[in-house]
Amino acid sequence: MYRSSDPFGTERRFNAARTRLDILGLQVGQQFEYLFDFGDSWWHEVTVEQIGPVVSGRRYPEIVEKHGRSPAQYGRAEA
């Protein structure tokens, strides 16, 4: 049985493999957390900077800032 760490029951969780950002109703300035790798617990804090029209040929969502170097996902690359 899953128990939320939120004692007030206001925390909502979505499966990233099946959830599109546009259905979340996010607003500019709002923050959310994204868990990339459940086993390694790679949590990312994401802030909505802008919401605008989709431009053909661009990839979304766009990363506009990051801090530090991204670690190798599975350690050293195999030869």
Strand 43-47 relative to strand 31-35, pairing: antiparallel
Distance separating alpha carbons of residues 54 and 63, to the nearest angstrom: 15
pTM over 0.75? The answer is no
Domain boundaries, the chain: 27-68
pLDDT of residue 29: 94
What is the mean pLDDT, run by run of 10 residues, along the chain of 79 residues?
Answer: 51 77 88 80 85 86 82 63
